[in-house]
Structure formats: C-alpha cells, structure tokens
Amino acid sequence: MGHTGGTMTRWDDHLAALLDERYPALVSYARMLTQGDLAAAEDLVHDALIKVFVRRSRFASPGHAEGYVRRAIVSVFIDETRSSTRRRRAYARSVTPESAPGPEASVGLATDVENALAELSPRERACIVLRYFDDLTVTQVARQLGIADGTAKRSLSDASARLAATLGAEMPDIDAPPAVRVEAPRRSK
C-alpha cells in the first residue's frame, strides 16, 4: 500500500499494518458471518475499516486497532442484516407469486457448519461466532454486542440448541471456558 509525500501518521501505520498483516484473517472472520460469501465478507471488512478509521482514531498498536475493526465487523453485519430484512419484507409485500424466484434460484452453502450458521438469526450467529470462534466469554459477547448478559446467554443457548439439532452434535456448555471449538461431525462416504 503506497503513500505519496509526507509522513504517515500513527493511524496510517496501524491501518497499513492491518491491511498487510491481518486482512486475510479479518475476511475469514467476516465470512463466518456472511455464510461463506467472500465478496460480502470483503465488503463487510471494508465498511468496518472505514467506520473505525474515518475518525483517524489513535490506537496503541495494530492489535488494538484490529479489536475495534472486529467489533465494527459484527456491528456493521447486524446493521446491514436488519436493513436487508426490512427491504426483503417490503419487496415480498409488493411481489406477486408469479414473479417470485423459484427454488432453483437458491444456492447451497459449502459446509454443514455454514449451513447451520445460516439458519440462525443475525444476533444468534454473531453470538456464536464471538463465543466459539473469537473465544469470548458470555459477558464479553454481551459487551461486544451492546446487549445484556442474560440476552447474550439466551441467544447462545437458543443458537446452540439449533446448531446441535442441525449438526447432530453436542454443543459445548456456553459457560465453559473459552477456546472450546465447534466442529461439524465428519461424514462417512
């Protein structure tokens, strides 16, 4: 990433480091929220980077800046999903059955876990990703999403039950220490 003239400011350094060193990890993180859609994940990361760096905030380190970007990814995802849901509902009210797309228009997802995550509400999906993929505690998940601990715990419990039923696997206890990973069972061929 080239810069022309002048000296880079501290936020420029952190942004450059994030893009050079952590961009693929941020996109992978966003893909878990976007049901594996790479283009949507990249858009989500870009929107989050803009949201975080538009104010030219000062961060102690690139890692500190990355934490803000990860929180912004979740926030932007939830905001966009809410807007998209409203648009779909408005469209559904105006569409006639003859003009609605048929089942052939839907495209399957690549993995069982992506399929299972896709069945969750945006809040449930965000809670699961933050809890089991970011290794956050229930309290940290609640703080990250700006919701009450009880709401986060309920969302995790509901989502865990749905994932267990869909994947045919036991889900870890939501109060278990972080670093417990969710893995889809292996299928025999």
Average pLDDT over residues 117-128: 89
Q: Which residue has the higher pLDDT, 110 or 27?
A: 27
Residue 8: DSSP 8-state:
P
Decide if 77 contacts 44 (C-beta within 8 A). yes
Q: Which residue has the higher pLDDT, 36 or 150?
A: 150
C-alpha to C-alpha distance for 20 and 2, rounded to whole angstroms = 11
Average pLDDT over residues 156-161: 92
Q: Which residue has the higher pLDDT, 183 or 40?
A: 40
Q: What pLDDT score was predicted for residue 84? A: 63
Is pLDDT of 9 > 80? Answer: no
Percent of the chain with pLDDT over 70: 67
Is pLDDT of 110 > 50? Answer: no
What are the backbone dihedrals phi and psi of residue 172, each rounded to the nearest 5 degrees, phi first?
-65, 155
Evaluate the CA torsion angle 50, 67, 130, 132 in order and state its sign: positive
Decide if 129 contacts 32 (C-beta within 8 A). yes
pTM over cut 0.75: no
